[in-house]
Amino acid sequence: MCDNTSAINLTKNLIQHSRTKHIEIRHHFIRDHMNSGDCVIQFVNSENQLVDLFTKPLNKERFNFLINELGIIDLKNIS
């Protein structure tokens, strides 16, 4: 899941443009797997981007929302 529509469009576009010539080989690797049907990239709104839990500093409310969405539980609160 990705919240960057430009990145999603690059994976779907088979034509190389001069603006994308600097893209690293690993990104072409992802595009190749997209084209072969090995994986699917879909848009997700930034508010629902669950990976933020692992990549960004969050306030308490956002942190609690994301751990709830992922189904993570606090083992200290289980009796």
Tens digits of pLDDT across the chain (79 residues):
677 777 777 777 656 555 666 666 666 777 788 788 888 888 888 787 888 888 889 898 888 888 888 888 765 665 5
Give me the number of domains the chain comprises: 2
Q: Are residues 9 and 31 in the same domain?
A: yes
Q: Are residues 50 and 72 in the same domain?
A: yes
Residue 59 lies in a domain: yes
Residue 33: strand, helix, or coil: helix
Residue 22 lies in a domain: yes
Q: Are residues 30 and 50 in the same domain?
A: no
Range of the domain at 11: 5-36
What is the reported pLDDT for 8?
A: 72
Residue 41 lies in a domain: no
Q: Are residues 9 and 32 in the same domain?
A: yes
pTM: 0.50
DSSP tag of 2: B
Residue 58 lies in a domain: yes
Q: Are residues 50 and 29 in the same domain?
A: no
Contact 54, 69 (CB under 8 A): no
What is the reported pLDDT for 16?
A: 56
> How far apart (Å, rounded) are the C-alpha atoms in residues 19 and 39?
25
